[in-house]
Structure 1
Amino acid sequence: MDGRNEPVTLSQEAWPNILGDARTVAESLPDLLVEARQIANTVSAGWHGRRRAGPGETFWQFRPFNMGEPAKRIDWRRSARDDHLYVREREWEAAHTVWMWSDLSPSMAYRSRLSQTSKRDRALVIMLGLADLLARGGERIGLTGLTRATADRNAAEKVATALSHISKPVPLPDTHAVGRFSDVVLIGDLLDPIEDLSAWARTVMAAGARGHLVQVLDPIEETFPFSGRTEFRDPESGLRLVTGRAESWREAYHARLAAHRGALADLASRAGWTFMVHHTDRPAVEPLLGLHSRLADNADEVAPARPSAFGPASAPIGGS
Structure 2
Amino acid sequence: MASTRVLSPGGRSPGRRETESALTLAERMPRLILEARRVAATLSHGLHGRRRAGPGESFWQFRPFVAGEAAGRIDWRRSARDDRLYVREREWEAAHNVWLWIDRSASMGFSSSLALCPKVERALVLGLALADAFVEAGERVGLLGLSRPQATRSIVERVAESLAADAAGLDEDLPPRAPVARFDEAVLIGDFLSPLDEVRAAVAGIAGAGCRGHLVAIVDPVEETFPFAGEAELHDLEAGLSLRVGDAAAWGSAYRARIQAHRDALAEIARGHGWTFGLHRTDRPASEAALRLVTLVAARAAG
Q: What TM-score results when the alignment is normalised by the length of structure 1?
A: 0.84
Q: Letter of the aligned partner of 2:166 in structure 1?
A: I
Q: Letter of the aligned partner of 1:26 in structure 2?
A: A
Contact 1:73-1:87 at 8 Å conserved across structures = yes
Q: Letter of the aligned partner of 2:155 in structure 1?
A: A
Q: Letter of the aligned partner of 2:211 in structure 1?
A: A
Report Cα offsets for 1:191-236 as digits up to 9, x if no partner.
1000100111111222322221011100011111111111111222
Contact 2:51-2:91 at 8 Å conserved across structures = yes
Q: What is the aligned partner in structure 2 of residue 201 from structure 1?
A: 203
Q: What is the aligned partner in structure 2 of residue 269 from structure 1?
A: 271
Q: SS where residue 127 of structure 1 aligns? A: helix
Q: What is the aligned partner in structure 2 of residue 185 from structure 1?
A: 187
Match for 2:214 among 209, 212, 216? 212
Q: What is the aligned partner in structure 1 of residue 150 from structure 2?
A: 150
Aligned counterparts of 2:52 and 2:242: Cα–Cα separation in 1: 59
Distance 1:288 1:141, change over 3 A: same
Q: What is the aligned partner in structure 2 of residue 11 from structure 1?
A: 7
Q: What is the aligned partner in structure 1 of residue 174 from structure 2?
A: 172
Q: What is the aligned partner in structure 2 of residue 66 from structure 1?
A: 65
Contact 1:96-1:299 at 8 Å conserved across structures = no
Q: Percent identity?
A: 45
Aligned counterparts of 2:82 and 2:271: Cα–Cα separation in 1: 53
Distance 1:245 1:62, change over 3 A: closer
Unmatched runs of 5 consecutive residues or more in structure 1:
302-320
Aligned counterparts of 1:17 and 1:89: Cα–Cα separation in 2: 59
Report the aligned-residue RMSD.
Answer: 2.3
Post-superposition offset of 1:18: 4.5
Deviates more, 1:70-79 or 1:126-135: 70-79
Matches within 5 A, 1:26-45: 26-44=26-44
Match for 2:253 among 251, 256, 272? 251
Stretches (4+) displaced over 6 A: none
Contact 1:140-1:151 at 8 Å conserved across structures = yes
Distance 1:96 1:173, change over 3 A: same
Distance 1:72 1:291, change over 3 A: same
Contact 1:131-1:156 at 8 Å conserved across structures = yes
Aligned counterparts of 1:30 and 1:256: Cα–Cα separation in 2: 38
Q: What is the aligned partner in structure 1 of residue 139 from structure 2?
A: 139
Count of aligned positions: 294
Post-superposition offset of 1:62: 5.4
Q: What is the aligned partner in structure 1 of residue 294 from structure 2?
A: 292
Q: Letter of the aligned partner of 1:244 in structure 2?
A: G
Q: SS where residue 128 of structure 1 aligns? A: helix
Aligned counterparts of 2:249 and 2:66: Cα–Cα separation in 1: 74
Q: SS where residue 149 of structure 2 aligns? A: coil
Q: Letter of the aligned partner of 1:243 in structure 2?
A: V
Q: Letter of the aligned partner of 1:194 in structure 2?
A: L
Aligned counterparts of 2:5 and 2:162: Cα–Cα separation in 1: 27
Q: SS where residue 180 of structure 1 aligns? A: coil
Q: What is the aligned partner in structure 1 of residue 50 from structure 2?
A: 51
Q: Letter of the aligned partner of 2:158 in structure 1?
A: K
Distance 1:223 1:13, change over 3 A: farther
Aligned counterparts of 1:58 and 1:91: Cα–Cα separation in 2: 7
Deviates more, 1:64-73 or 1:151-160: 64-73
Deviates more, 1:170-179 or 1:233-242: 170-179
Report Cα offsets for 1:10-68 as digits up to 9, x if no partner.
1134584545468x4112111111111111111126x4764325333413145254353
Matches within 5 A, 1:55-94: 55-61=54-60, 63=62, 65-66=64-65, 68=67, 69-77=69-77, 82=81, 86-94=86-94
Deviates more, 1:110-119 or 1:289-298: 289-298
Q: SS where residue 284 of structure 2 aligns? A: coil
Q: SS where residue 44 of structure 1 aligns? A: coil
